[in-house]
C-alpha cells in the first residue's frame, strides 16, 4: 500500500481543494427530502457538473475526468473535508452507473449517463418488497412478456425506495420467468420513468417526518425492451454488481467518516466532557482505520484484484462506525442534542445504515461463509 501521492495526484487534489473552497455553499442546503431542498441539491449537482466535478472517475464524454481510483478517493476526502452537500444523485452515479457502464448498451449509456451526471434526472432504487425483507431473490413483483409491443408489463409493489418521492426514474428487479427452478433465476433488471402510466408513488415519512422513501406500485406498466439492463432472466447477476458497489468501496468513502471524526474531536474540545474521552478517541481511530483499509483495497484493485465478499466487511464497519460517531456527538451535546441540527440529522440517518444495503446480519453471514470459510448456517436458522 502506497500512501504517497504522485505529482499528478497532488495537482489533482490541489485543483479539487481550490474549487471546493470557492464553490461549497457557506450555509447547509435544506434537506433533500423536501421540495425546496431537492431543487437546491439539483442545482448543486449542476454546478459540480459544469466544471466536471460531479463524476470525476467517468470518461470525459460523459462529463467525467477519467480520474483514477486513487484520484477518486482523493476527491472524496477533499469533498467531505470541505463540508460539501450530500449527493442527491448518489443512487444513480454510485449504484446504477457502474451497471450501465458494465451491462448497458451504447444507446442506453448515451441516453442516461449525461443527464445523471448533471443532476437533470435523479434515480430511485426500487429493490425492496413488503414480503421479501433482506432476501432480495424472494421478490414477487412480475414482468410479463408483451411481444406485440416489444417489451414487458410490470405488476407488483416496491417499498423503502430511496429518493422515489421526488426522483425521475427508478431501477429494480422483477420476476420475468415464474417457472424458473431457482429463485435467483428468471429475474430481469428494468429501468422505468416514475411518471409512467400505471405507476403510483406513495411517500413514506421518516422519523423526522420528511419523505425520504416511498412505496411504488406497478399496475400493468409497459417497459420497452430498450429499458432492460442486461439480458432478460439475467437480472440477479446484474443486480449483484449493484450490491457490490453499494456495500463496498464506492458508496461510503472514508472521507465522509474521517471528516465526521474530525468534527467530533472539535466538538469534544469545545465541550471538554472528559467522561467521553475514550469514546472520542476510539471513534477517531476507527475512522482512520477504515481510511487505511480503503487505501489497501485501492492498491489491491489497482493491481488487478477484485472487491469480492470483502465489501461486506466494509459495509459492517462503516455502518456501525457512523452510529458510534453520532451517538458520541449527541452525548457530548447533552440536552442541546434535542434541538435539530446536523448531528441530530446525521444520527437519525445513521440508524438506517445497519439495515440498508443488505442488513448487517446478512453481511456477517457472508463474511463468515465467504471470507472466513466457516460452515454455512443451518437451514431455517436465519430469522
Is the pLDDT higher at 252 or at 216?
Answer: 216
Tell which residue, 239, 230, 202, has the closest CA to residue 218. 202
Is the pLDDT higher at 239 or at 327?
Answer: 327
3 pLDDT more than 90:
no
Kindly report the backbone phi and psi dihedral angles of residue 203, in degrees, each rounded to the nearest multiple of 5, phi listed first.
Answer: -60, 150
β-strand pairing of 123-125 with 169-175: parallel
- Taking each helix axis from N to C terminus, what angle separates 254-271 and 277-302, rounded to the nearest 10 degrees? 160
Burial of 273 (0-12, 13-18, 19+ CB in 10 A): middle
23 pLDDT more than 60:
yes
Calculate mean pLDDT across residues 33-46. Answer: 95
**pLDDT confidence tier of residue 258, bands split at 50, 70 and 90:** very high
Tell which residue, 356, 267, 294, has the closest CA to residue 319. 356
Is the pLDDT higher at 242 or at 159?
Answer: 159
**Mean pLDDT over the full length of the chain:** 90
215 beta partners: 202
pLDDT at 97: 94
**C-beta neighbour count of 13 within 10 angstroms:** 16
Is the pLDDT higher at 309 or at 159?
Answer: 159
Calculate mean pLDDT across residues 288-312. Answer: 84
353 pLDDT more than 70:
yes
Is the pLDDT higher at 116 or at 296?
Answer: 116
pLDDT at 209: 82
pLDDT at 119: 96
Tell me how far apart the alpha carbons of residues 106 and 118 are, in angstroms, rounded to a whole number. Answer: 19
pLDDT at 100: 95
| 8-state DSSP, 158 | E
- Which grid coordinates belong to 323? 452510529
- Which grid coordinates belong to 251? 458508496
pLDDT at 383: 45
Tell which residue, 156, 162, 148, has the closest CA to residue 187. 156
pLDDT at 337: 80
Q: How far is CA 259 from CA 14, 84, 151, 253, 318, in A?
A: 18, 11, 46, 11, 13
* Length, in residues, of the chain: 383
Calculate mean pLDDT across residues 123-129. Answer: 92
**pLDDT confidence tier of residue 146, bands split at 50, 70 and 90:** very high
- pTM attached to this predicted model: 0.86
107 beta partners: none
Place of cell 452510529: 323
Calculate mean pLDDT across residues 41-56. Answer: 97
The residues annotated as belonging to the active site are 246
**pLDDT confidence tier of residue 104, bands split at 50, 70 and 90:** very high
**CA 267 and chain centroid, separation:** 28
pLDDT at 249: 56
Q: Render pLDDT for 148-190 as a digit per residue (tens, 0 to 9).
A: 999 999 999 999 898 999 999 999 999 999 888 888 889 999 9
Mean pLDDT comparison of 43-47, 70-74, 100-104, highest-scoring range: 43-47
382 pLDDT more than 80:
no
Calculate mean pLDDT across residues 238-246. Answer: 69
pLDDT at 370: 85
- Taking each helix axis from N to C terminus, what angle separates 277-302 and 69-81, rounded to the nearest 10 degrees? 160
pLDDT at 183: 80
Q: In angstroms, how far is the first alpha carbon of the chain from the final one?
A: 39
pLDDT at 245: 61
Amino acid at each position: 500500500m502506497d500512501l504517497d501521492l504522485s505529482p499528478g495526484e497532488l495537482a489533482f487534489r490541489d485543483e479539487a481543494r481550490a474549487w471546493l473552497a470557492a464553490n461549497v455553499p457557506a450555509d447547509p442546503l435544506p434537506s433533500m427530502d423536501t421540495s425546496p431542498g431537492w431543487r437546491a441539491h439539483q442545482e448543486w449537482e449542476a454546478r459540480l457538473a459544469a466544471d466536471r466535478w460531479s463524476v470525476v472517475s467517468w470518461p470525459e464524454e460523459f462529463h467525467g475526468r477519467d480520474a483514477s481510483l486513487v484520484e477518486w478517493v482523493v476527491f472524496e476526502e477533499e469533498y467531505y473535508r470541505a463540508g460539501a452537500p450530500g449527493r442527491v444523485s448518489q443512487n444513480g452515479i454510485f449504484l446504477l452507473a457502474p451497471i450501465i457502464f458494465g451491462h448497458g448498451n451504447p444507446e442506453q449509456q448515451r441516453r442516461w449517463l449525461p443527464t445523471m451526471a448533471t443532476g437533470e434526472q435523479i434515480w430511485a432504487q426500487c429493490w425492496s418488497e413488503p414480503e421479501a425483507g433482506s432476501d432480495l431473490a424472494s421478490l414477487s413483483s412480475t414482468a410479463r412478456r408483451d411481444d406485440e409491443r416489444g417489451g414487458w408489463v410490470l405488476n407488483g409493489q416496491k417499498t423503502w425506495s430511496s429518493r422515489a418521492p421526488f426522483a425521475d426514474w427508478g431501477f429494480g428487479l422483477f420476476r420475468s420467468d415464474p417457472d424458473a427452478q431457482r429463485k435467483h433465476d428468471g429475474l430481469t433488471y428494468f429501468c422505468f420513468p416514475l411518471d409512467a402510466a400505471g405507476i403510483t408513488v406513495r411517500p413514506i415519512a421518516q422519523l423526522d417526518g420528511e419523505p425520504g422513501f416511498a412505496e411504488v406500485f406497478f399496475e400493468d406498466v409497459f417497459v420497452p425492451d430498450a429499458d432492460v439492463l442486461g439480458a432478460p432472466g439475467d437480472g440477479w447477476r446484474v443486480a449483484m454488481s449493484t450490491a457490490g458497489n453499494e456495500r463496498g468501496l464506492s458508496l461510503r468513502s472514508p472521507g465522509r467518516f474521517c471528516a465526521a471524526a474530525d468534527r467530533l474531536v472539535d466538538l469534544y474540545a469545545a465541550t471538554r466532557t472528559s467522561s467521553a474521552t475514550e469514546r472520542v478517541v476510539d471513534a477517531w481511530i476507527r475512522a482512520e482505520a477504515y481510511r487505511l483499509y480503503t487505501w489497501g483495497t485501492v492498491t489491491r484493485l489497482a493491481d488487478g484484484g477484485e472487491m469480492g465478499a470483502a465489501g461486506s466487511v466494509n459495509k459492517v464497519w462503516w455502518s456501525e462506525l457512523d452510529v458510534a460517531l453520532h451517538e458520541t456527538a449527541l452525548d457530548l451535546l447533552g440536552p442541546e442534542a434535542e434541538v435539530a441540527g446536523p448531528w441530530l440529522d446525521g444520527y437519525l440517518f445513521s440508524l438506517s445504515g445497519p439495515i440498508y444495503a443488505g442488513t448487517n446480519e446478512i453481511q456477517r453471514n457472508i463474511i463468515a461463509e465467504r471470507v472466513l470459510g466457516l460452515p454455512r448456517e443451518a437451514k431455517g436458522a436465519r430469522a
